[in-house]
Structure 1
Amino acid sequence: MPGSPSRHVVTCRVRAALAATALLAGCSPSESQQPLPRGEGFDFYVLSLSWSPSYCEAEGENASRQQCSRDHAFVVHGLWPQFEKGWPEFCDSDEPGRVPEELARAFLDILPSVGLIGHQWRKHGSCTGLSQRDYLEATRAAHERVRIPDRFEKPSSRVAVEPDEVEASFVAANPGMSQEGIAVTCDGQLVREVRICLSVEMAFRSCEEVDARACRLPRAAMPAALP
């Protein structure tokens, strides 16, 4: 996770907060179908996109079977509230810790397992000031805000890439994104995640602390998605 954990004791009061505007893929408020759930008590979000084949290879027998039995490429790891320095996690909440399976299954098209959805809610969603449903809807809005470059949709073979090249591809595919607002992370010699910084209104923004922790390898591998 980007940054270093905050030393402040963070207690989040959960409520469903609906914003007056929605910036979903460039839509105006009148064009969007519903208001954007707007979090509070933090400075910005990090949308973490995981390269699923790297996760499955790195975790091996410990990887989620639900995730790794499917032909995923980039999937949502989570939507993380951040401070300019550090981040909150595992906040107090009036919402239950367990996400109902019926609710979780409605988001399996972007988050690859029910277990991951529950963990992301407890660790990160509980710190957003949102209900479970609104946190997951905000996660979907963040996912829809970002266009995955065509070359990373579902490559059929293992490739070696420069992490800066991956960043540049995302910046080119997403007007308004800058290389100061995105970080590629590595695990060993594997590209593991792309982390993108967004305001609470889902606008691209810079994030110095996140960007500073980007992968510094000259080249890293991206395993192929399942056929």
Structure 2
Amino acid sequence: MHRLTAAFVALLPIFAAGAAPAQDRAGDFDSYLLALSWIPAYCATDGDERDDPRCQDGRRVGWAVHGLWPQHDDGTWPEYCHTNQRSPSRQETAAQAGLFGTSGSAWHQWNKHGRCTGLSAANYYRLVQAALDRIALSEVFEGIDRELRVDPDVVEAAFIEANPALDRDMMVTSCPGGDLVELRVCLTRDLEPEVCAPALTRRECRRDAATLLPLR
């Protein structure tokens, strides 16, 4: 009886692995979402608490990468996936602080999203940089010294002007609480801009005007 119980216990990890939701399996996804944060809004909600250097007065940081997130066409997304890839070391995440703001943010993006790509941490970080390099961050709002009320469509138009390959169907703005927080670009797995899935566009900012916080 004891031998049978021990054998059953030994099989539990196998059952648990087999029960993992399909959406949380590394490498199983349809596309990417490149999330670009308006740093003044990020600082007001999270960045100050995290001592992100981009939030310091005088840095004048506008748009910057938040992350590159695997997506499913049905509007769901995988996160915290099981992967055979090892986690990045402290040295490796520290090397990405310039990209993500802090080493802690670099770790978080890998842990929540990077694992789901099926890539190594190093290759995931390279992929984020490659995705960012393909998007010209609009300079239209880079001189803002006071709080503005802007139509989210104006923000998208500014990105289209800087990136002719984009159109409004390929972007989604985010304005929780009324502040313009992010612009997210829909990309193929090859990092080419694509039309966003309908389930994603339903989460777009629907306000006629959102608050654009000034640069620090």
The TM-score bracket by the shorter chain reads 0.7 to 0.9
Aligned to 2:50: 64
Aligned counterpart, 2:189:
200
- State the match for 1:11 in structure 2: 25
The aligned runs of 1:36-185 (5 Å cut-off) are 40-59=27-46, 63-67=49-53, 68-69=55-56, 70-85=59-74, 86-97=76-87, 99-185=88-174
3-state DSSP class of the match of 1:196?
A: strand
**Which residue is 1:212 aligned to?**
202
Letter in 2 for 1:46: L
Report the CA distance between 1:221 and its aligned residue: 1.1
> Is the Cα–Cα contact under 8 Å of residues 86 and 120 in structure 2 kept in the other structure?
no
Counterpart CA distance in 1 for 2:143 and 2:122 is 29
Between the aligned partners of 2:167 and 2:160, the Cα distance in structure 1 is 6
Q: Contact 2:142–2:215 (CA<8 Å) still a contact in 1?
A: no
Q: Name the CA distance, whole Å, in 2 between partners of 1:109 and 1:210.
A: 29
Q: Higher helix share goes to which structure?
A: 2
Q: How does 1:180-191 map to 2 (within 5 A)?
A: 180-191=169-180
Superposed CA RMSD in Å reads 1.8
Partner SS state of residue 151, structure 1: coil
- What CA deviation, in whole Å up to 9, does each residue of 1:158-181 have, x standing for no partner? 222111111121122212212111
Give the number of equivalent residue pairs. Answer: 191
Q: CA deviation at 1:154?
A: 4.6
Deviations 1:162-207 (A, max 9, x none): 1111112112221221211101101212000000011111111011
TM-score (norm 2): 0.81
Q: 1:155 to 1:8 in 2, by over 3 A?
A: same
Q: Tell me, which stretches of 5 or more residues in structure 1 are unaligned?
A: 1-6, 13-39
SS of residue in 1 equivalent to 2:43: helix
- Greater CA radius of gyration, 1 or 2? 2
Q: Secondary structure, in 3 states, of the residue corresponding to 1:57?
A: helix
Q: Which runs of 5+ in 2 are unaligned?
A: 1-20
What is the identity, as a one-letter code, of the residue corresponding to 1:225? L
Residues 1:152 and 1:101: Cα distance change in structure 2 (over 3 Å): farther
Q: Distance in 1 between matches of 2:45 and 2:213?
A: 10
Residues 60/197 of structure 1: CA separation in 2 closer, same or farther (3 Å cut)? closer
The aligned amino acid for 1:8 is A
